[in-house]
Structure 1
Amino acid sequence: MNRSSSHFINHVTNLPVTEAIDRVEQAVQNMGMHVFARINHSAGAESVDMPLRPTQLILFGHPLGGTPLMQAQQTIGLELPLKILAWQDESGQSWLSYPNISQLAKLHNVEVDESVTRLQDVLSKVISVVNEASH
């Protein structure tokens, strides 16, 4: 199942949020990329006594992937590094979501070329690896 918009892409996962983001982190590292940060939004909300369903964000990448886009238009650096959000909806279903890199490139007036396609493919591949491991 896939609930997406033109700006982001959502993929259902059978894993709980923490396990899903753990597997994203492992897949990213296995693909030779760097994990820059992992943010537990729900823990942050809990720290100020506010409810939030499980929600975690991971930021990752590699200079070979993002640099060509920033060479074309430095403002696309606002969208980098790559990110995947693991979150749970109101029904308890877990999702993995990531930005539509082609749309972000257009927003920053960057030509949608092989550099953009390659980053979009990396995001798709990470999700595939995570979901294959969950079956």
Structure 2
Amino acid sequence: MLTAASAWSVRETIDRLEAAVAEAGLLVFARIDHAANAGTALRPTELLIFGHPRGGTPLMLDRQTSGLDLPMKALAWEDSSGRTWLTYNDAEWLAERHGLGPGSVAAVEAVSAGMAGLVRAVVARGADG
């Protein structure tokens, strides 16, 4: 897993990620508010599930089991000190976990670079914050 500190609240982080995902032409499949659905006290925790067939399909063509970890997911969560984090699975881990072959290298690299770019754009305060 890769984790980055976010300058935003959990909700704002996922809002920003959802907007960045849409702007990148990716599809949002689900947004899950774990804290709202926990039935008990849970610090803010939200999951966004997103992707695009052009990224995931080559991986599933190589090893269909990679569909277990696709589409991509990112979890924004608040720690006990009130700090927000954004965590997601490393595409290299996904390749190793499913035994993806040499034919998937370019797709794994594209997913990895895409995720890193999205996260960088989402977590930092820039001119808009």
TM-score (norm: length of structure 1): 0.89
- What code does the residue aligned with 2:66 have? I
- What code does the residue aligned with 2:46 have? Q
Provide runs of 4+ in structure 1 moved above 6 Å. none
1:20-45: per-residue Cα shift (whole Å, max 9, x none)?
00000000000000000000000001
Match of 2:114 in 1: 122
- What code does the residue aligned with 1:74 have? Q
What residue ranges of structure 2 are gaps of 5+ in the alignment? none
Q: State the alpha-carbon separation in 1 of the partners of residues 123 and 64 from structure 2.
A: 33
Over aligned residue pairs, what C-alpha RMSD do you find? 1.0
TM-score (norm: length of structure 2): 0.93
Match of 1:19 in 2: 12
| Aligned length in residues | 124
What is the deviation of 1:131?
2.6
What residue ranges of structure 1 are gaps of 5+ in the alignment? 1-7
Q: State the alpha-carbon separation in 1 of the partners of residues 4 and 121 from structure 2.
A: 12
Q: State the alpha-carbon separation in 2 of the partners of residues 131 and 88 from structure 1.
A: 13
